[in-house]
Amino acid sequence: MGLLLPTLSWAQAIGGYAAGCQMNARALPASGPGFYVIRSTRERFYGQPPLIDYLQTLGQKTRQADLPPILVADIAKQRGGPFEYGHRSHQTGLDADIWLRPPPAQPSPRRLKNIKAVDMVDHRHYILNAHFRDPQRQLIALAAQDPRVSRIFVHPLIKNAMCKAYGDADWLGRLRPWFGHSSHFHVRLHCPKGDTLCEPQAQVPAGTGCGRELASWLNDKAGEITSGPRTPFRPTLPKQCVGWVR
């Protein structure tokens, strides 16, 4: 048996979150303690080992906190790279979407395949609706406290609710207001240690992020869901990804 090429002998995130690929990704199991994978037919449940461990650990933490199991949606394709439709990021196995709704009472594979998202925002009045409650706050707080997290994208109104609930907690700065994200939150991990080809995102600004920046989003009512079809995103990939990504 020949030796594996050095670049293929270990897991690796290559390039940037919105222009990259991944080597030797791991698949998140369809279910485990405290979590379920949804929409698995898309085959977007592959990630780098730190992200897979993060999601499984988060599931265990939610279970210990007596919270509903988490619903994990898009992570990345097996080799990473851009999706045929949808996100621009999720290309290096370091991003994951977690829905804010609880799972159905009996989460069978059929129910999880056809499950619908639940919006936490009343977009007409630009307020959080009755679906956003303490379990959602606790889940986001648990997700944000892991030091492997670079940032978590949430709707500005959700960020505001977290600021009110958790005051000056040092992890609040990791919660970044962004467009959409009113039915799920998007976790992004730091580049793994030793992944020299992984391009990190800039550090989040110091502080909680509960001041002027958030106020500008709230005053402008930014963060609303954009409608209509999007052109597939086709970035220029690092040379290591060319020919590897399908």
223 vs 151, more confident: 151
pLDDT category at 232 given cuts 50, 70, 90 is: confident
Reference 196, options 3, 8, 5, 12; nearest CA is 12
Q: What is the pLDDT of residue 110?
A: 79
Please determine, for residue 7, whether its predicted confidence score (pLDDT) is greater than 60: no
The runs of H, that is alpha helices, within the chain are 49-64, 109-113, 134-144, 156-166, 212-219
- Listed residue (56, 53, 50) closest to 10, CA to CA: 50
Distance set, CA 7 to CA 3, 110, 153, 163 (Å): 11, 38, 31, 43
pLDDT at site 1: 36
- pLDDT of 230 strictly over 70: no
**Rounded mean pLDDT of 228-234?**
68
**Which tens digits make up the pLDDT trace of 188-229?**
999 999 999 999 999 999 999 999 999 999 999 888 766 555
Q: End-to-end CA distance of the chain, in Å?
A: 26
* 203 close to 149: Cβ distance less than 8 angstroms: no
- The dihedral formed by the CA atoms of 212, 221, 149 and 34, expressed in degrees to the nearest 10: 140
Q: What is the pLDDT of residues 25-77, one digit of tens each?
A: 999 999 999 999 998 988 999 999 999 999 999 999 999 999 999 999 999 99
* Identity of the amino acid at 230: R
- Domains of the chain, residue spans: 9-219
Give the Cα separation of 153 and 146 in Å (integer).
15
Check residue 234 and give its pLDDT: 84
Using left for φ > 0, alpha for ψ between -120 and 50, and beta otherwise, residue 3 falls in beta
Quote the tokens at residue 76. Answer: 């990345």
Q: Which residues contact 242 (CB under 8 A, 6 or more apart)?
A: none
Q: What is the pLDDT of residue 111?
A: 81
Contact 118, 101 (CB under 8 A): yes
pLDDT mean over 144-169: 97
Residue 3 has pLDDT above 60, yes or no: no
CATH (residue range 9-219): 3.30.1380.10
pLDDT (tens digit per residue) in 105-144 = 888 877 888 899 999 999 999 999 999 999 999 999 999 9
